[in-house]
Amino acid sequence: MKPRVFVTYRIPEAGLRLLREQAELIVNEEDRFLNEEEIISRARDAEALITLLQDPITARVIEALPRLKIIANYAVGYNNIDVEAATRRGVVVTHTPDVLTDATADLTMALILAVARQVVAADRFVREGRFTGWKPELWLGMELRGKTIGIVGMGRIGYAVARRAVAFGMEVIYHNRRPANPTLAYLVGARYVSLQELLEQADVVSLHCPLTPQTRHLIDRHALERMKPTAILINTARGPVVDEAALAEALRQGRLAGAGLDVFEEEPRVHPDLLSLPNVVLTPHIGSATREAREQMAIMCAQSVIAALSGEVEVSHMVNPEALLLRNG
């Protein structure tokens, strides 16, 4: 009998095709996300789950699925999963790192350019029939050459953004919990600074840090007050890293020039004040939304599930390798 795999929301066919060869596949075909009760009900006999960031994979869900061996999260982040509860049960948790790096870095640069050059507002200006001809001071924006980008979180994506920013002639400063690989920092001329220095010096602050208790509302009212009034804030990391109410207030009062957000504090809800501001560009969590990245994510999830269900000692992209020790011990 083939092991049962439950997919909480349809992922690209490239991954599903691999799974169908190895397992009995059950896919939620509805265009909505499931709650805890629905996941428990539909996945009761599953040995594997493929989940999305919106799925509440709580301790309760994990305890209610006695045959569960692996949770493969179709995302880089995994804060939707109670990893400690999974580990106690010997359930492996995996994610999809690396494959999103270039896609997210590209979108970050797109948001920087869109905000700096007021692309979205200018597009609306033309569509509304208000463009009457070229004028010397029509829609003046900020040039990137010679400006400083401050990267909060110099991991894979942060470094990829730094490489792109250097190509635009920008200076790079960054802040991490600890200095990044010195060779990589040298290659982009990046200088390590405190968060306070970064906020005060950067013309563009770009967030690429994970969501932890320490980074929740990292960019709050006090942080925003340290930024230049001509600066812009970009968030392609996690929504709750930014206090959206404080950001909206700073933008409305002219204490910040603009912002580009791909993620939101209470996603999919967006703070209503942000929706009405012309100096904000909002995208619907599309950092990884390229065909190449999304298909590879599906394949990675499928390969992790197949490895775990086959009893392999090593499963790619585990976030809790100790779970295997507990299961096999």
Is the bond preceding residue 268 a cis peptide, omega within 30 degrees?
yes
Catalytic residue among 197, 267, 295, 327: 267
DSSP character for 318? Answer: B
Catalytic residue among 226, 285, 295, 327: 285
Q: Which of 9, 15, 22, 6 is nearest to 64 (CA)?
A: 6
User: Residue 293 has which token pair?
Assistant: 């990245």
**What residues contact 308, with CB distance under 8 A and at least 6 apart?**
48, 69, 70, 92, 94, 315
DSSP-assigned letters across all residues of 46-92 = -SEEEE-TTS-B-HHHHHT-TT--EEEESSS--TTB-HHHHHHTT-E
217 tagged catalytic: no
Catalytic residue among 238, 271, 294, 317: 238
Give the burial class of 266: count Cβ atoms within 10 A of its Cβ; 0-12 exposed, 13-18 middle, 19 or more buried.
exposed
The answer to whether 158 touches 205, Cβ cutoff 8 Å, is: no
The answer to whether 42 touches 61, Cβ cutoff 8 Å, is: no
175 tagged catalytic: no
- Helices and strands per DSSP (H, E), number in the chain: 14, 12
Q: Would strands 258-261 and 280-282 be described as parallel, antiparallel, or unpaired?
A: parallel
285 tagged catalytic: yes
Catalytic residues: 238, 267, 285
